Structures are given as structure tokens and as C-alpha cells.
Amino acid sequence: MQYYNSIVDTIGNTPLVKLNKVTEGIRGTVLVKVEYFNPGNSVKDRIAIKMIEDAEKAGILKPGGTIIEGTSGNTGMGLALAAVSKGYKCIFTMADKQSQEKIDILRAVGAEVYVCPTNVAPEDPRSYYSVARKLNEEIPNSFYPNQYDNLSNRAAHYESTGPEIWEQTDGKITHFAAGVGTGGTISGTSKYLKERNPKMVTVGIDTYGSVFKKYKETGIFDENEIYPYLTEGIGEDILPKNVDFEMVDQFIKVTDKDAAIMTRRLAREEGLFVGWSCGSAAFGALEYAREHLKEDDVMVIILPDHGTRYLKKIYNDTWMRDHGFLEARDFATAQDIIRRKKSQGSRLITVKPEASVGEVIKLIHDEGISQAPIMDSQGHIVGSLTDSKVLRRIIENPELRQVTIQEIMDPPFTFVALNNTIDVLSSLINKDNKALLVRDENNQVHIITQADILMTMAA
């Protein structure tokens, strides 16, 4: 009889599949390693079992214990399957931008899930990092794997993913590409492959709103690079210990929209029903391949997870249309808006946090503006204001004219990438976010309002 003793024994040995349609114009061979063939439908199954078994060997995780982890969903699924097999309890913290499908799947396998706000700093006590750490401190006999800094993550890929790719390509791989989140997949796999072929090129895929690309190129952790984005499971606002920048030769950034459209193309044109970050990895890797791949080169791209986790998002036409992702129309971009505003002599008007509400009201009147970012003396955007909200608060309490604006300010406006098109920009402006901010090529901040978008569309 042929069978496995438990579901975790089926992890690994996922297939390589050749891309045929989306690679038009590319020389060489482009293969994808389809990680949804793992039992938990993602690449994270590999690190989940490795982190648990290493913790058991070290005596950190004991029988009857509770596994507590901050996850975007996939690592949680891998840990949950291993926990079911080994008899552990699971508690997971997740950011509220993650799909409902991911939350439902984790609960289906017996896990307890805490949903935390996305748009807070990592050290904020409300972040999913902080909540996981706090639960670990409070719950006896609990284990916090911390996939970001637990080097068992990287080791799992060095021991499994790298050797599999080397064997499956008969050592002919010349280029390796993967999205970078915790960094374990790309760092561990790349280390193994580069030891076999020091000339191999590793391409890391990042997203706009993440710090990796600039840190690799400059060694600077720039908080100005950090702003909210939609793609799940890729990019970070921290530097996980599992990211070995020496193992990544080049980073390429991919927008939410390009990633979403490529994900749907992989399903329709290649029969690969994969997740959103798979579209990021494929789009970025193929952009690199068009310029650099030669006839005899072999590129392998990691496709991390399955499309079932995104049925209500990128595989939902209404959601795609609402976010301006569905139609591939020739829209103007944020950069076009900024150029038009510069040509008209427009300048960014900011408010100091220590300015009084009365002073701000006068500024709004004198400058004829409806909203403004609040910038501290170090040039950091720390908040925002809109005339309607300020007016409403003063009507409710006239004494507020004497307090500083930082006491009543709203959260900062959302930062967006220069190449985001106006259909995407318009979907991000709403009653809770009245304007957008963008940095130009010279790192100068500009504001984009609904009026700016309308003027661009009318031009």
C-alpha cells in the first residue's frame, strides 16, 4: 500500500511548469515552481513544519502547547496543518487587509484568529506583530515562531526548495526570481543555488510601499518609502532577519494593478489559478527577462500560493473594477498630474503640528485650500486636515480655536506610487481619505486631490 502517515509528509516536491503564453518576446526558458501543490496550498508549508520541528528539538515547543504567529494567512495555514497533525493549538494575528477567505480557512482548521489594523507602525501595540508577541507573553506554554526573524524559515528553503529546483532543472538554472516578504524563500533558495552556480542571478520582487529595493541599493532604511498597498504577502515595512540582501542581485518593484492583472492572466492563459503575489513575482520577473534573458538561459519563478484565497478580490470583477484594475485603458498617471501642477506653479502647502487651529483656519482661507498635510520639523508627514472636518469640530466646540492642530488632526493622507493611474487614484480618495500624497523623482512631496484628478481628465 502507498500512503503517507500524515498530511505534513506530503509537503515539498512541487512541480516546475513552463510558461508559454505570457512570455511572448522573451528568449530562453521561463519555468514556475507551483507551490500550491503543497497540502496547505502555499510555499509556507515548508517553513511551518521546519520551524515547529526545530522548536521541538530545542525544547521550546512542548506537548499540548499553543502556536502563536503573525501571518498574512499562508504561514498560518501551514502551521495549522502541522498543529493538527502534532496536537497543538493555534492562535494567529492578521492584518485587516488580508482576504476574508484566508481568515475563514484558518478558522476552518481550528485556529483562533485576531484581525489587527494594517495602517499602523510595526511597533504600535495594535499591529499584528505586537499583538502576537503580547499573546505569547501572556499565554503559558506558547511558542511564537516569528517567521520574520526565525532563521529556520531560511533554512527550510535551503534544505528543500533549492535542492528541488537544482535537481528539476538538471543544474541548468541561470536565473531565480521570487517575491520578498519575510525573505526566507528567496534567501534560502538563492544561497543553495548560488553555491552550485556562483554566476546565477537572483531577482527579488518588491512592491511599492515597501522598503526592500531602496535598502538594497543604498543601505538606507527610508521610512518615506513606506505607505499602504493592497497586494498581500509581499514587501515589508521592516527588515526581517531572514532577508539576506547578499543573496539578491537586484530588486524590481511591481504595482498592485500590474500584479492583479498578471495574476488573472496566469489563470486564463496558463491555467495557473494562483494568488496575488504570484502575479507580482511573474510580472517583475518577466520584465527582467525581456531585457536580460538569453536563448540558453533558464529562469525559475516561485509562485507561492493558490487563487482560492483571493476569490472576493482579484478574481471578482466588481472588486477589480472598483479599484480601477479591470480595464487596461490608457489612463494618465500621478506623475502626469504632478507635472501639470508644476507647470502651473503649484506648490505643496503644509501645516506645522504646533500651529493653533485659529492659525490654520486663516491659512486655509488665505491659500484657498481644502486640505493639507501636517509636517513636522524633520520633514515627516505626521497627520492631515480637511476644512470640513476642522469646521465641524469648531462648531461643536469653539474653544478648539486655541489648541494646536496636532490635537485634532486626522491620520496622514495615503502615499501612492508615481506610476499609479488616475482610475486607481480616484478609487483611493473617499470620505476617510480626502487626498493622496506622492513623492517625485527628487523625493519632493506633492498632494493630489479629487479636483486635480478631475482637471487631468478634462484636459
Catalytic residues: 44
- DSSP symbols for 124-180: STTSHHHHHHHHHHHSTTEE---TTT-THHHHHIIIIIHHHHHHHTTT---EEEEE-
Q: Which helix (H) or strand (E) holds 263?
A: helix 256-270
Q: Which helix (H) or strand (E) holds 357?
A: helix 357-367
In contact, 211 and 313? CB cutoff 8 Å: no
Residue 352: other Cβ atoms inside 10 A: 15
Pairing of β 435-439 and β 445-449: antiparallel
In contact, 142 and 67? CB cutoff 8 Å: yes
Calculate the CA dihedral of residues 229, 235, 237, 239 and round it to 10 degrees.
180
Report the distance separating Cα 452 and Cα 444, nearest Å.
18
Report the chain's terminal Cα–Cα distance, integer Å: 72
> What are the φ and ψ backbone dihedral angles of 356, each rounded to 5 degrees?
-75, 160
